[in-house]
A = this chain, B = another copy of it.
Amino acid sequence: MKNLFTDIPAHLPDELFETLVKTDSVHVQRIVSKGHTTAKNDWYDQQTNEFVLLLKGAARLEFSDGRLVTMGPGDWLQIPARKKHRVAWTDEAVETVWLAVHYA
């Protein structure tokens, strides 16, 4: 058994991406952010659908249609494949822990 809130490095120069499960059809990741954002004018444009759940911390997602979504613990949403999005903000004071499930 593992825990999503442990084994987080004290210093996070980059966002931490860890694969928890990976098969041909599904990819479950833990992501840890601390003040990290997607580079300005850069977008995630994924070939798979994504279920994303914020477990701890706070973040704001931006969609290419201008929609901004601020997320706190327990908040989740689905991002369809090819729906451009970026991480506009994450809390700088505490780690933000996400669970992402990518699926076909």
**Interfacial chain B residues near A4, Cβ < 8 Å:** 53, 74-76
Stretch at the interface among A17-25, A32-40, A86-94: A17-25
Cβ-defined contact, A2 with B104, below 8 A: no
Taking the full assembly, how many copies of this chain does it contain?
2
Cβ-defined contact, B3 with A103, below 8 A: no
Cβ-defined contact, B25 with A74, below 8 A: no
Residue in B1, B25, B71, B77 whose CB lies within 8 Å of A69: B1
Cβ-defined contact, A25 with B25, below 8 A: yes
Which chain B residue lies CB-closest to A78? B21
What are 21 of the A-B contact pairs (CB < 8 Å)? A2-B75, A3-B74, A3-B75, A4-B74, A4-B75, A4-B76, A20-B51, A20-B76, A21-B51, A21-B78, A23-B104, A25-B25, A25-B103, A26-B104, A28-B51, A28-B101, A53-B99, A55-B55, A55-B74, A99-B99, A101-B101
